Structure 1
Amino acid sequence: MAPETRSAIAAVVALALATAPISAASAKGLLIGFSQATLQSPFYVQLKAGAEQAAKADGDTLIALDANGDINKQNNDIQDLITRGVKVLIINPVNPDAVAPALSAAQDAKIPVMTVDRAIHGDVVTYVGRDNEKMGALVGAVLAKRLHQGDKIIEIQGDAGGTVMAARRDGFNKQVEAAGEKVVMGPYAEYVRANAVTAMQDLLQANPDVKAVYAHNDDMALGAMQVLRENNRKDVLVAGVDGLSEAVKEIANGNQYVATASNDPIRLGEVTIQTAQKVAAGQKVPAFIDAGTALIDKATVGQYDTSGLFARHK
């Protein structure tokens, strides 16, 4: 082919590429990295689903990796996401401090970092989550009214050192301790029902005079209630956090499970991706974006749709 012919063809191709309509996928096509602490909790499974749906709807690609509760794996996962060229990085940290090496690596690569559901003790663009201290306080106020001064409450904790755990603990304890009730701190059950079942078996044996159980999520609270029912202890009140539909149905249908706090993970995933898109575009966002919460108890339970894994306000 003559050189002038090749030049003419190249010019035509260039013109065609320049004037061709850009597809929605290529117009957006944002590559987003998401490092999750764990997928052992149904909340985090739904958080991932909500984020994936939101990214796909806007023509973006979400690479989500599961650290399975292992901080070393999470640091390696984040390095993998950096190597794969993500334009924004979302971290749900296993530990708020131990993720520092990965955070530093992302900053060196000039990749903006944001956190979801759990905060990091470090410099990030924004934290998307909910007021977990308020959640604990909402549930604590219900139990404080239902119990009497000196009554014993068993508290089953989430993860050691976690910011969500600490906030849900502090908000709850301020309410019940102000009412004169006694809190017995149980072990860290990592937000997993099976772990809470094992913990509750020992806790009930050691505290037969317990009047209520509070767990840092509904999955653990339901595990504790299973043990209570197996031991014919329907007199012990139960409360959790997150608005798991199974728990909300218990509130609607019975008197043992008395309260939870709404924490719709699908919505949280949607808000997270919307925020990531703004961050990647260079827009300024608030340091904390609150996805909102509300008390779900006998008085408000009718306002929630429980057809999905987590209750959603109608």
Structure 2
Amino acid sequence: MRKKYICILVAVIGVCSLSGCGSSAKKTEEEQVTIGVVTKSKSSEYWLSVCDGMKDAAEKYHADVVILSPDSETEEEIQKNMIRDLLKTDIQAMAVSPIDSYECEDYLNFAREKGISVYACDTPIEDSEIPYIGIDNEKLGYELGEQLAKALDHKGKIGVIAGDFKQAGHRMRVAGFEKYMEKEPGITIEMVRNGYSNMRVSQKDVDEILVKYPDLNGIMATSAVTALGLSEATEGREISIVSVDAQEDALKAVQDGRIVALGAQSGYQIGYETIRYIVKDLEGEGTGEDEILDSQVLTKENIDTYMKDDGYSHP
């Protein structure tokens, strides 16, 4: 089993100061593994729930977890600097939710030199053997396509507004969505825009889209934050919206009918399972394989049951 170290408090404080919002789960044993985590953002309900899941798992599995987050998912270089700085500290493993899934070799090489195991959570690190903990994004995109086609009675014109395609998760959601739409001859995809990673679409952008594509009947947004902005900006128009992320405001939008289908990606579950996976792996009980978590498509028909059950039962 990999030798475990006690994280020095001064080192943790130094690391946390990099972002101003780092956090360390309480130690419960004299010796325990220390895991560094760098997420994409700290500015949404989804990422806060990821961190909550990690903290709860750290307490259960006697790990010390240091979490750093840039302010937004557009701060790629800040995230990479956080990763490099955290790799210089006394950690045994690192979980990363990459803002860029394709340009990771620099910090992966540094981690190898330091003997630190790296794991991808929420978003895969492409072109690598790094284990991934998260949902099957392509499958979920396919299922959302099916729901949107059903809402449109299998005919109409639609668009896609996605996060940055440098993030493999957004790219895969769109790929799955487009794959399903190949089965729908009565539906045409009029436009695909990307670059809205966890960002609301401005009224100006929406107005521009609707001027250029006035006959849109539906939109697939690859994140709930974007979908919520769209639902506000298109209020009064008959445009069906589908999206991803089981955050409270998006769940309420499904109840209200502002979002017709939502892929329930539980941030809490992803955070919790990431820490559990890493601890087990470091203890020699891991498989080295990706851990694909369950996701569920929510509509007005099943949303109340989901919310009553709290969506994901905390271990």
TM-score (norm 1): 0.83
Q: 1:123/1:257 Cα in 2 relative to 1: closer, same or farther (>3 Å)?
A: closer
Map residues 115-154 of structure 1 onto 2, 5 A cutoff. 115-147=120-152, 151-154=156-159
Identify the residue that residue 202 of structure 1 maps to in structure 2.
208
Structure 1 residues 270-285: aligned runs within 5 Å: 270-285=272-287
SS of 1:143's partner is: helix
Residues 279/119 of structure 1: CA separation in 2 closer, same or farther (3 Å cut): same
Give, as a single letter, the amino acid of the residue that structure 2 aligns with 1:83: K
Provide runs of 4+ in structure 1 moved above 6 Å: none
Local SS of the residue matching 2:102: coil
Structure 1 position 56, deviation (Å): 2.9
Cα deviations across residues 188-233 of structure 1 (Å, max 9, x unaligned)? 211212x35543232122222110111001211111010111xx21
Give the corresponding residue for 1:221. 227
Report the residue type matching 2:279 in the other structure.
Answer: Q
5+ long unaligned stretches in structure 2: 1-26
Taking a change above 3 Å as real, the CA distance of residues 197 and 275 of structure 1, as seen in their structure-2 partners, is farther
Structure 1: distance between partners of 2:308 and 2:42: 21
Q: What corresponds to 1:248 in structure 2?
A: 251
Q: Which residue of 2 aligns with 1:300?
A: 302
Shift of 1:302: 2.5
Q: Which residue of 1 aligns with 2:198?
A: 191
2:47 matches 1:38: no
Structure 2 CA distance for aligned equivalents of residues 203 and 114 of structure 1: 38
For 1:102 and 1:288, how far apart are their aligned partners in 2? Answer: 20
Normalising by structure 2, report the TM-score.
Answer: 0.83
Structure with more of its chain in helix, by fraction = 1
Q: 196-205 or 265-274: which moved more? A: 196-205
1:176 correspondence with 2:176: no
The C-alpha deviation readout for 1:250-289, integer Å capped at 9, x for no partner, is: 32233x4210111111011110000110122233324210
Mapped contact 1:74–1:99 kept (Cα < 8 A): no
User: Counterparts of 1:226 and 1:60 in 2: how far apart (Å)?
Assistant: 42
**Any conservation in 1 of the 2:222–2:244 contact (CA below 8 Å)?**
yes
Classify 1:313/1:109 alpha carbon distance in 2 versus 1 (closer, same or farther; 3 Å). closer
1:215–1:239: 8 Å Cα contact kept in structure 2?
yes
Give the aligned length. Answer: 284
| 8 A Cα contact 2:245 2:263, kept in partner | yes
Residue by residue, what CA displacement relative to the aligned partner does 1:41-91 show, whole Å, maximum 9, x if unpaired?
Answer: 332222122112221343322111124433322232122212111111111
When the two chains are superposed, the root-mean-square deviation of aligned CA atoms in Å is 2.3
Whether 1:96 and 2:96 are equivalent positions in the alignment is no
Inter-partner Cα distance in structure 1 for 2:44 and 2:182? 29
Distance 1:28 1:269 in 2: 22
Q: How does 1:102-117 map to 2 (within 5 A)?
A: 102-117=107-122
Matched residues, percent identical? 23
- Secondary structure, in 3 states, of the residue corresponding to 1:34? strand
Structure 1: gaps of 5 or more residues: 1-23
Aligned partner letter, 2:61: D
Output the CA distance in 1 between the equivalents of 2:166 and 2:242: 22
Matched AA of 2:209 = L
Change (3 A) 1:196 1:277: farther
1:268 is matched by which residue type in structure 2?
A: I
In structure 2, distance between residues paired with 1:139 and 1:117: 18
